[in-house]
Amino acid sequence: MRVVVAGATGLIGSRTVARLRDHGVDVVPVSRRDGVDVSTGQGLDRALRAAEVVVDVTDAPTRRQEAGTAFFTTATGNLLKAAAAAGVEHYVALSVVGADRVGSGYFRAKAAQEDLVRHTTVPYSVVRATPFYESVEAAATAGTRPDGVHVPSLLLRPVSSDDVAAAVAHVAVGPPLFGVLEAAGADELRFEDFTTELLTSLGRPGPVIADAQAPFFGAVLEERALLPGPDAHLGHHTFAQWLKSR
Ligand SMILES: NC(=O)c1ccc[n+]([C@@H]2O[C@H](COP(=O)([O-])OP(=O)(O)OC[C@H]3O[C@@H](n4cnc5c(N)ncnc54)[C@H](OP(=O)(O)O)[C@@H]3O)[C@@H](O)[C@H]2O)c1
């Protein structure tokens, strides 16, 4: 089986390439470094030649709604066009839990990407992941204020990038779902509790303030907006293990 991975140099892409190779797959890693640009379409036809599966784990350079939507609709449009022309049998896109219900910010951009995937002629699967542990860390860093760390007031089940890559690879080697698989982490806690654990592990404990107006991925979210459904595929790596392994 030949699988093209678009976004192969990224956090998830590099791990997905490794997991696919564990499955014994012939992987074609693709990124701008390999002369393939999903925004312009340059190099795509050649890269997708003889591919059976395409995995899209590219990301936009911004969390802003308009620019993110422009990136994902253009990139996904180019990838789907090349996939259809190459006779690809399965297209796998990585999206975010909440893309179907949040309606603003980065989530709107991912919903636009999902719409294109759902309406293509190429058989497809969508994997929706909860926020990665790295995103919890980035939000905590960005929320540092003189009176403490301000984080969004949310319940979260964040996930390790290794668990997301394993889920994406698992879906890619299987039949198209014509639907969604949710990938989420082992623990559910409030955002401020994950942040407290993070700061403690960094040796700088301090006040963590849950702020209902603090945006996450460019959107102010309802408390349960990012929780997966009951059928989510739960990862094995806990937040505590991830903190220890850094
Ligand atoms: N962050 C989260 O918490 C979270 C949660 C759920 C789902 N997701 C989804 O996970 C996916 C992957 O995220 P990530 O963190 O792994 O991203 P990342 O580390 O930023 O990697 C992005 C990849 O996209 C490639 N790329 C960007 N623009 C490109 C272009 N014009 N042409 C070709 N390749 C391009 C980059 O390659 P080069 O720059 O080397 O070309 C890189 O390989 C995203 O779609 C995101 O929506 C993220």
| Confidence tier at 209 by pLDDT (50, 70, 90) | very high
Q: DSSP 3-state assignment of 11?
A: helix
Give pLDDT, residue 205. Answer: 82
Residue 106: its H or E element: helix 105-118
**Nearest atom in ligand 1 to 39's CA:** 31
Rounded distance from Cα 147 to ligand 1 centre (Å): 33
As for ligand 1, residues whose beta carbon falls within 6 Å of it are 7-13, 31-33, 36-39, 57-59, 94, 96, 110, 129, 131-132, 135
pTM of the model: 0.98
Torsion of CA 31, 33, 38, 43, to 10 degrees: -110
Instruction: Name which residue sits closest to atom 18 of ligand 1, judged by CA.
Output: 10
Fold for 2-245, please state it: Rossmann fold (3.40.50)
Please check the confidence at residue 204 and state whether its pLDDT lies above 90. no
d(CA 26, CA 2): 5
Query: Relative to the CA of 12, which ligand 1 atom is closest?
Result: 16
pLDDT at 89: 98
Summarize pLDDT for 220-237 with one digit per residue, the tens. Answer: 999 999 999 999 999 999
Domain ranges of the chain: 2-245
* Model pLDDT for residues 191-202, shown as the tens digit of each residue: 999 999 999 999
What pLDDT score was predicted for residue 236?
Answer: 96
In angstroms, what CA-CA distances link 29 with 18, 21, 22, 38, 121? 10, 11, 15, 13, 23
- Per-residue pLDDT, averaged over 55-82, amounts to 97
Is residue 172 within 8 Å of 24, Cβ to Cβ?
no
User: What is the distance in A from the centroid of ligand 1 to the CA of 57?
Assistant: 6
Query: pLDDT for 137-175, tens place per residue?
Result: 999 999 999 999 999 999 999 999 999 999 999 999 999
